[in-house]
Structure 1
Amino acid sequence: MAKSLQEQLLAAGLVDKKKAKKAAKELKMQDHLQRTGQANEIDAAKAKADATRKEKAERDRLLNLQKEQEAQKKAIAAQVTQLVLTNAIKSERGDIKYQFVDGKKIKQLYVDQAIWDRLSRGQLAVIALDLPGEKKYEVVPLQIAEKIRQRKDNHFIYIAESTAAAMAEDDPYAAYQIPDDLMW
């Protein structure tokens, strides 16, 4: 008599008895499920499991995307903080109060005369720095303010409007030159 494929594989040593019994049991189970009509239920359960797995993968993908966005926001905030702290212009003797508007509140910053002049002419900018527990304002050059605006466009940046052009238009004596030897 001819041996079955299973017996041939066992004789060749390619399959052991445990695997052969498991395969035979699985075949009997599938035959039984098909005869009783329960195979469709198993297929439905497999489809449901696949749908659940796909849903979970989509949720995980969205969660990872959200985490990446939060990490990117933190990185941008760290870059802004580093830019402000490394490029802040410090006043040696801050004895003049410079006032500016942040939202609906008037804020003040004590600076020296040179910085006050440059701030009022729009050559420097005031930047809000959100440190843990406090909000601090620093003076930075316009180039740094632009870099910060590129990274985070809703960050508070105050730049005074240049009043030189407006003063030149309204000045009735603009056409008259001041003599060099005039003493006040």
Structure 2
Amino acid sequence: MGNPLQDQLLKAGLVNKKQASKVKQEQYVQTKKKKKGKSVRKNDRKPISQAEVARAAEVARNKQISRKQAEERQQHEQQAQIKQLVIQNRVERDEKNGQAYHFALGKKIHRIFIAEEMIDRLCQGQLGIVQLADSFEVVPAKVARQVAERDKGAVISLREPGPGDDEIW
């Protein structure tokens, strides 16, 4: 007794006896291979040549290089955005008549000379200090937060208002 679907296809004339026996033989081989624990696809694959291995390694290396270049390009774009933000929004300092404002960066204490009202605004969290290359610039707090989104290490001093800072002057 065979497969009822096969019998119907044979009676309808859609397949001949040779095609039906071929399909039956393939099904038998597949069931035997599955019982032995062998994968049908494993046996159907061609052995991998050294050239294919080299090509695959080259493709992986190229992907890694392009990923690294994309990261570098993104970092460069972020630094350019930071520079543009700081230059466009920096607050002019009073180098000649200003007071020294000291802040720590790593293990060193740095100072910049700014006007007295700017010191008050720095303490209130309205202004922040950002490092741009080897110089320090004073920018509005909003700009300092935008810089911090791109590079947290560039923001040197930014006081966040606390719960007790809600007093109105």
Given the two structures, how large is their TM-score scaled by the length of structure 1? 0.58
Please, which of 80, 83, 107 is the counterpart of residue 82 of structure 2?
A: 80
How many angstroms does 1:99 deviate by? 0.9
Query: Is the 2:130–2:157 Cα contact (8 Å) retained in structure 1?
Result: yes
Q: Give the aligned partner of residue 159 of structure 1.
A: 158
Runs of 4 or more consecutive aligned structure 1 residues displaced over 6 Å after TM superposition: none
Matches within 5 A, 1:18-33: none
Deviation of 1:121 (Å): 2.1
State the distance in 2 between where 1:163 and 1:107 align. Answer: 25
- In structure 2, the CA distance between the partners of 1:110 and 1:163, relative to structure 1 (3 Å rule), is farther
Alignment-mate amino acid for residue 142 of structure 1? A
Cα RMSD (Å): 2.5
| Aligned-pair CA distance for 1:115 | 1.1
Deviation at 1:162, TM superposition (A): 5.6
Q: Report the identity percentage.
A: 27
Q: 1 CA distance for matches of 2:144 and 2:90?
A: 11
Match of 2:35 in 1: none
Equivalents in 1 of 2:73, 2:132: separation in Å? Answer: 19
Give the 5 Å matches for 1:88-99: 88-92=90-94, 94-99=97-102
Match in the other structure for 1:66? 68
Alignment partner of 2:113 out of 104, 110, 113 = 110
- Taking the TM superposition and a 5 Å limit, the aligned residue runs for 1:139-150 are 139-150=138-149
Q: Which segments of 5 or more consecutive residues in structure 2 lack a partner in the other structure?
A: 1-45
Contact 2:128 2:155 in 1 (8 A): no
Larger Rg: 1
| One-letter amino acid of the counterpart of residue 114, structure 2 | V
Contact 1:129–1:138 (8 Å) recurs in 2: yes
List gaps (5 residues or longer) in structure 1. Answer: 1-42, 169-184
Alpha-carbon distance in structure 2 between the residues aligned to 1:50 and 1:58: 12
* CA distance in structure 1 between the aligned counterparts of 2:55 and 2:125, rounded to whole angstroms: 58
Query: Which residue is equivalent to 2:103?
Result: 100
Confirm or deny that 1:56 pairs with 2:58.
yes
Note the C-alpha offset of 1:127: 0.6
SS in 2 for 1:89: coil
SS in 1 for 2:66: helix
Q: Which residue is 2:24 aligned to? A: none
